[in-house]
Amino acid sequence: MSLSFKASARLFAPLLFGFSALQAAQAGGTATVLAGEDFSQPSLQVVRSSIEFDGTAHVRVQAENRREGYLIVRDNVPYAITALEGQPIVLNFAQMMQTMGGMARSLAPRSLITDGRYVNLTGPGAIETIAGFSGRVWELTTVNKAGRQRVDEMVLTNDPKVRELTDAMLSTGRLLARSLPELDANANERLAAELKQRGTGILRVGRSFRLEKLDTATPPPSRFALPAEPTVLPDLRSFGGLFGK
């Protein structure tokens, strides 16, 4: 599958669904997701993350066992939150990537580094139940810049809460990709449009992403508050080869 899509799926990934007034009133939730290169390979790292969302404008992503490092999206701006000597530090993600020059790629989530592009979805296949939600198995085909195709299973459901979670994940992934010039933030717009047309959300992608749990209660606004004013970093590119070009 395409890496920009993985990023979206994992972190969040970014679908801009048009919700009805009723859906908007019920917006938000908290999901637990698993992401990794291949769940079937014990030697490969699997990350469990919490994704809290209230539509696409307010999203919080935090990996399990990382109390100080997390991501917050507020009004389509992603912020990385960390700590120094016990004090919170808030960094504008795009500005952080720009000022760190060659360090940007190494500091970005591994799942963002991809060049795949959506080709098509074929199916549906068997019924599969994941995290209490019933979905159908589809075949997702993507192609990288070298022209090599890849096919992964994708389990899709028409549950409105999973659709909203998918929207939050993919929109967040798109925002992060826009901060890295080597990535194509629009690589999966066709996939986003396809899922929107079908009215479906993602439960599983191959052996690299799976929804574990979804709580449909809207998180309180405090969960999306920045713990401090954003810090402006010096342009580390001025240090030349020290951090890479």
What pairing do the DSSP bridges indicate for beta strands 230-231 and 87-92?
parallel
Count of domains for the chain: 1
Question: Exposed (0-12), middle (13-18) or buried (19+): which is 140, by Cβ within 10 Å?
Answer: buried
As a whole number, mean pLDDT of residues 56-80 equals: 87
Task: Give yes or no for a contact between 125 and 138, defined as CB atoms under 8 angstroms apart.
Answer: yes
- The residue with greater pLDDT, 43 or 49, is 49
For 229, which DSSP code?
Answer: P
CA 139 to chain centroid, in Å, comes to 20
| 196 lies in some domain | yes
Q: CA dihedral in degrees (24, 76, 64, 153; nearest 10)?
A: 70
Q: What is the pLDDT of residue 185?
A: 64
Q: State which residues form the domain around 89.
A: 3-223
Count Cβ atoms within 10 A of the Cβ of residue 79 and give its class: 0-12 exposed, 13-18 middle, 19 or more buried.
buried
In a domain, 160, yes or no: yes
Residue 234 in domain? no
> For residues 123-139, b (16+ Cβ closer than 10 Å) or e, as one string?
eeeeebebbebebbbbe
Domain for residue 167, yes or no?
A: yes
Report pTM: 0.79
Q: Is residue 236 situated within a structural domain?
A: no
- On whether residue 233 sits in a domain, the answer given is no
The larger pLDDT score, comparing residue 174 to residue 126, is at: 126
Identify the burial level of 238 via C-beta atoms within 10 angstroms of its C-beta, where 0-12 means exposed, 13-18 middle and 19 or more buried. Answer: exposed
User: Looking at residue 125, which CATH number applies to its domain?
Assistant: 2.50.20
pLDDT at residue 100, rounded to an integer: 63
Looking at every residue in the chain, the average pLDDT score rounds to 78
Give the pLDDT confidence score for residue 30 in this predicted structure: 97
Total Cβ atoms within 10 A of residue 59: 30
Structural domain includes residue 137: yes
Least confident of 50-59, 82-91, 227-236: 227-236
pLDDT tens digits, one per residue of 178-224? 777 666 667 667 888 888 899 999 999 988 899 999 999 999 999 99
Residue 26 inside a domain? The answer is: yes
